[in-house]
Structure 1
C-alpha cells in the first residue's frame, strides 16, 4: 500500500459568508485534516482537479430555499487520489492510492427507506459536497468511503470531473424518462454544462434529439455532438409549434429541462405528446412550476423530478464516458480563476463546462 505525506495546510477557495460570491478568498493556509483526525468511514483525497457547476454559484450566492454552510469551500466534482482512510473503517470498499471521484452526494446513511430504494440522494441524513460539508475547491478534501466513485483506468481525470455531476444528473434523467430508442427528446439548455452531455447520453440511448438554446457557439456544439435538430429560443417565434412541426405534429416523447428558469417547464407541457414525460432537472431558486392541469391530465403527462443520481448511476455514467461515447467539452482553468468563472456562469455565456486544475 502506498504511503503519502499529508501537509498541515493547503490552498483553498473560501466563500466567507453567504452571498459573498464576489469576495472569494484564496487561502494558502487552509487546514488539512490529518490521518489521525479522520473519523471511521472518512477518507482524505488529494485532488487533481475539480469541475465547476452552476450549483456552486447558487451555494455561494445563497439564493436557494436551502442554505449552505458558511464559511464554505464549494465544489462537488473532484477527482484525485485517496491518501488517507480513517482508522477503524470496517469493510472499506476503497484503499489508499485509489483514484476516485467526489460527487454532490458526499454521504448517506444507506439504511433508511430512501437509501434502500436507490434514492440515496434523498436520504434525510445526506451530506452534500460544497454545500453542507466542504467540497472540492481545495487541494485536499475529506469525503466518505461508501460514496466516492472509482474512476475507470485510463480515463482522464479532467474529462471525468464533470461526469460526476453534470453527466450523472442528465444520465439519470434520461434513464428514467420512459423513452425507447427512436423517441424524440427535447433538451432546453442543450449547449450548457449539463445540456451538452444530455445530448450525448440521449444519442447513446438511441433517441432523436431536439436541442434548444441560443447562440452560434452553442448551436455548433450541439450539432457536432449529434443533436438531430436545433432551435434557437431567441430567434424562434413559437417554440411549441416548432417542436410539434419537427415531430410530425405529435410533439416530443420527453423533455429533460436543465435550464434554471420556469419558462422551460411551462412550454414542455405544451409540446409533449400524450404520454410524454417532463424530467425536471434545473433548479431555479424561486420560480414555480406552472402548467395547465387540464392538459397535463388530458394528455397523461408525467412530471418527474430528477435530482442528481445514486452510486450505481455514477458508475454507469462514468463507464459510458470512459468508452468514449460521451465527451465533456470543458475549458481548463486554475483554482485562482474561480471568481471569473462564476461571473461567466452568472451571465450564461459558458458553453460546455469549466474544470479547475489544483495547485501542485
Structure 2
C-alpha cells in the first residue's frame, strides 16, 4: 500500500461509520500504527492535517474531511481503510464489540459534554438519554462528576437510565408539563446548568431554553431531518443562554474517550446482531425501540 493509509480487519461494526479490528496492512508512510495492532476507525476517517482547522484541533471542520460510510467506504464490510493519523490504537485486551460504540457515539457525546462547559457537581439534562448516544452520555457525564437528569420515553429506557445512575428520569410520553417536571428535579428548581440534545425529533430543540437555568448551555448534537433550532429571543437574552452545536471530537477527544472506557468507567449497553439482521435493526431504530446500541458482526 502507498501513502499513510493502514488497513484494519473489521470484526464488530456499528452504524456503518465506525468499527474495531486488526491492522493487516499499512501504507509505506504510515506511522504510529503497526500490522497486528488493534485499531478503531471513527466517523472522521481522515483530514488534510494542514489547514487552519486541522492545525487548531478542529479536524472535523476540515474542508477535505473524509467520512466513513459517507465520502469513503464505511464499515459494513470485512475490511475497511482508515487514515493512520486518525485511527485510534486500542489495547489488545479490550473486546472489539464492547469498544466499537465508543468510536462514534462515545466520542460524539464526550465532545458535546466538553463543549457544554458544565463543571463537576453541576446538573446536565440529557434529552434522548435512553438511546445509543444517550446511554453513553450519561456514563461520561457521571465519570466527569456531573449530575444527570435523563429525558426519554418508556419504562424500558427508564430502567436503563436508572441503572446507569441518572438522578431523575422525566418521561416525555407521560409528562403533562415537561419544562416544569425537568425544573422540579434540578437544584432549587432553577433548571439544568447544561442540556445535551440527542433527540431525533424537532420539539425538544424548541423546549430546552425553558428548562435551562440562567447562564445555562444548550448543546445540539442530534440531527432530526429538516428541523430548526428555535428559541425565544427574550428568554434567551435575559437568561444569558448559550446555544451551540457540537460535532464529533478531534483526535485527542478520541484518545480521551477511549481512555475512559479502558479504565472501566464506561460500559456501552449493546446487543450483537449479524449483518443479515440489519434490516430488522433499522426497523427497530425507526420505531424508537432500541435501548442502547446494536453491534453488527461481519462474517469471517
Relative distance call for 1:296 and 1:94 in structure 2 (3 A) is same
Secondary structure at the counterpart of residue 42 of structure 1 = coil
* Gap regions ≥5 residues in structure 1: 1-37, 53-74
CA distance in 1, matches of 2:74, 2:200: 22
Q: Counterparts of 1:45-124 in structure 2 under 5 Å?
A: 45-52=8-15, 75-87=16-28, 89=29, 92-124=31-63
Query: How far did 1:234 drift?
Result: 0.6
Match of 1:263 among 195, 203, 207: 203
Query: How far did 1:39 drift?
Result: 3.3
CA distance in 2, matches of 1:153, 1:314: 17
Q: Counterparts of 1:290-301 in structure 2 under 5 Å?
A: 290-301=230-241
Work out whether residues 152 and 319 of structure 1, in 8 Å CA contact, stay in contact via their aligned partners in 2: no
CA distance in 2, matches of 1:221, 1:273: 26
Work out whether residues 109 and 123 of structure 1, in 8 Å CA contact, stay in contact via their aligned partners in 2: yes
Deviation per CA, 1:50-108: give whole Å up to 9, x if none. Answer: 112xxxxxxxxxxxxxxxxxxxxxx1121001111123x15x12111111000000000
Deviation per CA, 1:164-222: give whole Å up to 9, x if none. Answer: 01100111111121111111100010000000111111111111111001111110000
CA distance in 2, matches of 1:111, 1:293: 39
Deviation per CA, 1:109-164: give whole Å up to 9, x if none. Answer: 11111111111011000000000110100001121111100112422111110000
Secondary structure at the counterpart of residue 176 of structure 1 = helix
Q: Which has the larger radius of gyration?
A: 1
Q: Counterparts of 1:159-238 in structure 2 under 5 Å?
A: 159-238=98-177
Superposed structure 1 runs of 4+ greater than 6 Å apart: none
Work out whether residues 37 and 92 of structure 2, in 8 Å CA contact, stay in contact via their aligned partners in 1: no
Asked if 1:250 corresponds to 2:208, the answer is no
CA distance in 2, matches of 1:94, 1:264: 42
Deviation per CA, 1:243-294: give whole Å up to 9, x if none. Answer: 1111122111000111122211111111101110001100112101111112
**Alignment-derived partner of residue 219 in structure 2:** 279
CA distance in 2, matches of 1:259, 1:158: 25
**Alignment-derived partner of residue 328 in structure 1:** 268
CA distance in 1, matches of 2:2, 2:61: 23
Work out whether residues 262 and 290 of structure 1, in 8 Å CA contact, stay in contact via their aligned partners in 2: no
Query: How far did 1:338 drift?
Result: 1.3
Asked if 1:140 corresponds to 2:79, the answer is yes
* Gap regions ≥5 residues in structure 2: none
CA distance in 2, matches of 1:95, 1:148: 12
| TM-score of the superposed pair, with normalisation by structure 2 | 0.97
Mean alpha-carbon deviation: is it higher for 99-108 or for 282-291? 282-291
